[in-house]
Amino acid sequence: MLNLKFIQDNPDLVIEKLKRKNFEAAGIVGEIIDLYGEKNKLQGQADQAKAEMNKISKEIGLLFREGKKEEANAAKERTSELKENIKQFDQQFSAIEEQVNELLVLLPNLPHDTVPQGKGEEDNEVVTSAGEIPALDENALPHWELAQKYNLIDFELGVKLTGAGFPVYRGKGSQLQRALINFFLDEARKAGYEEVQPPLLVNEASGFGTGQLPDKEGQMYHVAADNLYLIPTAEVPVTNIYRDVILDAKDLPYKNTAYSACFRREAGSYGKDVRGLNRLHQFDKVEIVQIAHPEKSYKVLDEMVKHVASLVEKLELPYRILRLCGGDISFTSALTFDFEVYSAAQKKWLEVSSVSNFESFQANRLKLRFREEGVKKTQLAHTLNGSALALPRIVAALLENNQTSKGIKIPKVLVPYTGFEIID
């Protein structure tokens, strides 16, 4: 959530910057300014009423002592009237605060100055490309056919048990999943991240804190009876570990990693581009999260991008890094880098990670602050997160890119985790 005082002090800047996200903020910003103008006017009237009441209250005792009973009673009536007025002012203040908060949650985070202009993914900026795209035999199979051929993933059984988008992994397919999860977690631990195992359901406060709620796109699964939400990513529970806390600046950054299943409705996703593992309702992912000092958060972002790049390189997958444009960046992010790996059989790039700096946007919702040593006033921290990595499309690319006439080769880095070198 954007800082209210920043909006009041810089309304034109907020409106102009949000245009880069293709968001017209003038109406909302104007309404917020008008509401606070009304509140300031009411505040002046309330302060005047309180001052009058305090003055009269001091005079009442003196009037009684002087025998001016009639004047004293009139003064008492006036204080009762003023109390009622002040009560009404407080109710009006609460109503205005509620209206302002309802408007504030509609405003996206401000994009960083380096976010390129653009309307959608076609306008994203490729900043790095690495690795060689493998040349496959003309009879190469897409991963969903390979999964069937080697009995790795049963998509039809998933439909029977739950529905489309909930695959069942079997045999070496299950082992490959577990190998990737352990590899990603071990690499995160080596990079200084503390592993946590979070719940798979969160409450409203957690969903609001990281910006998933209000759920404008209907992508979260909601357990109505308990008013809980299945997590779309481990980012939600892990970042909320720090909700309503004040950290010491000397302890920053805080670094956490977590493996979890992730649940997304993916409403409106249909067609050939979502076949197989390309888009699922349930999938596995290892997440990295950092809570950083505002002055160092972009250095932290660079470190996180390098960490994800190292994972893809160790898996020997060709990849590219994209800086997302204003039209493709998320509601909560200030700057996002997406990682894509090349799927040789499908002949397309598949997104496998997003690494983002949210600056103080989530922290403001979370009331996540830190204090410098010897300084009484607190500051909002910066939050960052990244997929390191999401498994489905990594598995898709590994299966497709490494297929040979003898079977599917396993990258060397994974062999100690899988216990086998080839799927045959």
Please check if 297 is assigned to a binding site: no
Please check if 145 is assigned to a binding site: no
Please check if 265 is assigned to a binding site: yes
Please check if 20 is assigned to a binding site: no
Token readout for 49 is 């009423």
Angle between helices 26-65 and 69-104 (to 10 degrees): 160
Please check if 378 is assigned to a binding site: no
Please check if 385 is assigned to a binding site: yes
Radius of gyration of the chain (CA): 28
**What is the three-state SS of the chain?**
CCCHHHHHHCHHHHHHHHHHHCCCCHHHHHHHHHHHHHHHHHHHHHHHHHHHHHHHHHHHHHHHHCCCHHHHHHHHHHHHHHHHHHHHHHHHHHHHHHHHHHHHCCCCCCCCCCCCCCCCHHHCEEEEEECCCCCCCCCCCCHHHHHHHCCCEEHHHHHHHCCCCCCEECHHHHHHHHHHHHHHHHHHHHCCCEECCCCCEECHHHHHHCCCCCCCCCCCCEECCCCEEECCCCHHHHHHHHCCCEEEHHHCCEEEEEEEEEECCCCCCCCHHHCCCCCCCEEEEEEEEEEECCCCHHHHHHHHHHHHHHHHHHCCCCEEEEECCCCCCCCCCCEEEEEEEEECCCCEEEEEEEEEECCCHHHHHHCCEEECCCCCCCEECEEEEEEEEEHHHHHHHHHHHCEECCEEECCHHHHHHHCCCEEC
Please check if 354 is assigned to a binding site: yes
Compute the distance between CA of residue 331 and CA of residue 106 in angstroms, rounded to an integer. Answer: 9
Please check if 264 is assigned to a binding site: yes
Please check if 316 is assigned to a binding site: no
Pairing of strands 282-292, 319-323: unpaired
Please check if 233 is assigned to a binding site: yes
Q: Residues at the annotated binding site for L-serine?
A: 233, 264, 287, 385
Q: Residues at the annotated binding site for ATP?
A: 264-266, 351-354
Q: Residues at the annotated binding site?
A: 233, 264-266, 287, 351-354, 385
